[in-house]
Chains A and B, each alone.
Chain A
Amino acid sequence: MIEIKDLTVKYPGKNEATLVLDRLNITIATGDIYTFIGPSGCGKSTFLYVLAGILKDFSGTISIDGQDIDPKTQRIGLILQNYGLLPWKTVHQNIMLGIKIKKDPPELDEYKVYILNQLGIDDLLDRYPKELSGGQQQRVAIARAFLLNPDLLLMDEPFSALDAITREEMQELFLNIWKQNSVTTFFITHSVDEALYLGSKIVVFSPSPGRILEVLDNPCFKLDNLRFRDEYYAMSTKLRNLMGLSRDRVKDDKSAR
């Protein structure tokens, strides 16, 4: 279980600090996949960097099963929009990076080979990232995260740089692998469609400064042929309204001043 209490992040500015995240409170159940949706600039990525242990300047508490968050003790898989692969390492060296840092046995055992097969990158191991397509690079990044056997998987708009067809393929592929290894996952997106397809819960962020507007149960999660169903349409409308509403609220705030 991950408990986030009063998480507040401010970026220091020249005169005054900018409030990026404003008192986030949320409890995440182990083995669930949460999608976080909100307009750009709402601090979603900042939120993820705090969870990843990259951004250490925050107030409030984050604990994983009662322990403070620390990338040295927990295993955190991070998948970024720009893939986060190291260009001077081959695919094999890249997917082994987490294993190397965590000092796991470096052999490609049955499980690892299975994941690589699932992702269809088992014959690309000797290539360098620049020799791969965007979709292939993202598969490598996903493989790296899953081979780490993470306690927590953090994904920052991982598929948004891909073309529409590749994106849907990757979403499906990711969900397939995820179902076999239910890792607690934070998935950040700005796409309503993606939030509905991938999230068992959907967290809606307000525009800057980021606050949690609402946490929704997603009835569409794990439904087949989702995009053709009534539930999908209903939830999609609800989400769009929520996000639209939150924008109107800001407009009202500004005109009221």
Chain B
Amino acid sequence: MLANGKWQGALYSLALVIIVWQAASLILNIPIIPSPLAVFINIAEIYQGKMEIHVLHSLSRILGGIAISILLGVPLGFLMGYFEKADKLLSPLVYFTYPVPKLALLPIIMLLFGLGEVSKLIMIVLIIIFQIVITSRDAVKSIPAETFRSLQSLGASKLQMFTEIIFPASLSEILTAIRLALGTAVSILFFTETFGTEYGMGYFIMDSWMRVNYLDMYAGIVVLSFMGFCIFIAIDILEKYTCSWR
């Protein structure tokens, strides 16, 4: 688990956010900035009945999007990092398609794949997979050639090179890429959930806003942030267990 110091840090920063928020709400005194306490009480009241289903939908989309990106992106990055030819062939393709604003493709994706879950997942994957591909590729390239020598002299297979060296050596960097991807994924998620669905935190927040229910809207924002926070912590814990050799 997290070290005590880290928990303390998290508490201090949370306290700071609440103080600034409370101050803003007192000074401005307008309905669009309710007090944090009112929002927290509201969360407690509506979470089980109204909000939980939206949280679960959003969570599954984020985790699904990240999982698909890892399953496709990491092997692709590994191949590009390990085999010079694959890199020469695929890198230009990646560099060419990475800067294309993927949100601009949304209408096309919706026409091809409909308004449902598939389009939302494709959107998330399209945007975050590049970070994961490029990081995995560079992680493999940064492994010193000497690291492979012992295994080569043992007559290890290519697959063993991947399982014994490439994967463990680049895991920590891949987890960092996943952290970055997570932040991006939450932003895209919000955007894709504002249409074509009636479930998800994006829908919940926009719907509350339309209905001028600011308490619900803030409750949604706080819960969405907390969800992101929890996934970050989960990645930290995973890293602590898998990369303890560092």
Q: Quick one: closest B residue to A74, CB to CB? A: B155
A60: interface (CB < 8 Å): no
Residue in chain B with minimal CB distance to A144: B150
User: Is the CB–CB distance between A86 and B164 below 8 Å?
Assistant: yes
Q: Which residue of B lies closest to A78 (CB)?
A: B153
Q: Which of B149, B154, B168 contacts A101 (CB 8 A)?
A: B154
Q: Which residue from chain A places its CB closest to the CB of B244 in the assembled complex? A: A128
Kindly state the separation between the CA atoms of A101 and B155 in the bound complex, as whole angstroms. 8
Chain B interface residue count, CB cutoff 8 Å, equals 19
* A98 in the interface (beta carbon within 8 A): yes
A9 is an interface residue with CB less than 8 A from chain B: no
Chain B contact residues, majority secondary structure: helix
B169 & A52 in contact (Cβ 8 Å cutoff): no
B29 at the interface (CB under 8 A from A): no
A84 to B165, CA, bound (A): 12
Q: Is B122's beta carbon under 8 Å from chain A?
A: no
Interface check A228, CB cutoff 8 A: no
Q: Does A71 contact B (CB under 8 A)?
A: yes
Residues of B198-229 whose CB lies within 8 A of A: none
**Does the CB pair B154–A97 fall under 8 Å?**
yes
In the complex, the answer to whether B153 meets A154 with C-beta atoms within 8 Å is yes
Would you call B150 and A80 a contact (CB within 8 A)? yes
**CB contact under 8 A between A97 and B245, given known A71-B155, A72-B155, A88-B169:** no
Question: Are the CB atoms of B168 and A52 closer together than 8 Å?
Answer: no
B142 part of interface (Cβ distance < 8 Å): no
User: Is B160 engaged at the interface, CB distance under 8 Å to the other chain?
Assistant: yes
A86, B150: Cα distance in complex, Å? 9
Nearest opposing residue in chain A for B147, CB measure: A86
A63 part of interface (Cβ distance < 8 Å): no
Q: Is B146 an interface residue (CB 8 A)?
A: yes
Which of A54, A128, A130 is close to B152, meaning CB atoms less than 8 Å apart?
A: A54
A60 to B164, CA, bound (A): 32
* Complex interface: chain A residues within 8 A of B156 (CB): 101
B-chain residues with CB within 8 Å of residue A90 when the two chains form the complex:
245
Whether A102 pairs with B165 at a CB distance below 8 angstroms is no
Q: Is A53 positioned at the interface, with any CB of B under 8 Å from its CB?
A: yes
In contact, B164 and A97 (Cβ under 8 angstroms):
yes
The reply to whether A53 and B245 form a contact with Cβ atoms under 8 Å apart is: no
Q: Binary interface profile of A, 156-169, with partner B (CB < 8 Å = 1, else 0)?
A: 00000000000000
User: Which of chain A's residues have a CB closer than 8 A to the CB of B169?
Assistant: 88
- Our pick among A53, A76, A82 for the contact of B146 (Cβ within 8 Å) is A82
Q: Which of B18-67 contact A (CB under 8 A)?
A: none
Query: If the complex has contacts A82-B146, A86-B147, are A52 and B245 also in contact, measured as CB distance less than 8 A?
Result: no
- CB closest chain-A residue, reference B168: A88
A6 within 8 A of B: no
Partner of A102 from B154, B168, B243 at Cβ < 8 Å: B154
The verdict on B106 contacting chain A, using a C-beta distance below 8 Å, is no
Q: List residues of B (119-151) whose CB comes within 8 Å of A's CBs.
A: 146-147, 149-151
Since A88-B245, A97-B164 are in contact, a sample of 19 more A-B pairs with Cβ atoms closer than 8 Å, ordered by chain A residue number, is A52-B149, A52-B153, A70-B155, A73-B155, A76-B153, A78-B149, A78-B150, A78-B153, A85-B150, A86-B147, A86-B164, A87-B246, A88-B168, A88-B169, A89-B168, A97-B151, A101-B156, A101-B160, A154-B153
Which residues of B are at the interface with A, using a C-beta cutoff of 8 A? 146-147, 149-156, 160, 164-165, 168-169, 243-246
Chain A to chain B: the 6 pairs with minimum beta-carbon distance, closest first = A71-B155, A72-B155, A52-B153, A78-B153, A88-B168, A84-B150
18 CB-based A-B contacts, threshold 8 Å:
A52-B153, A53-B153, A70-B155, A71-B153, A73-B155, A74-B155, A76-B153, A78-B149, A78-B150, A80-B146, A84-B147, A88-B243, A90-B245, A101-B154, A101-B156, A102-B154, A129-B245, A130-B245
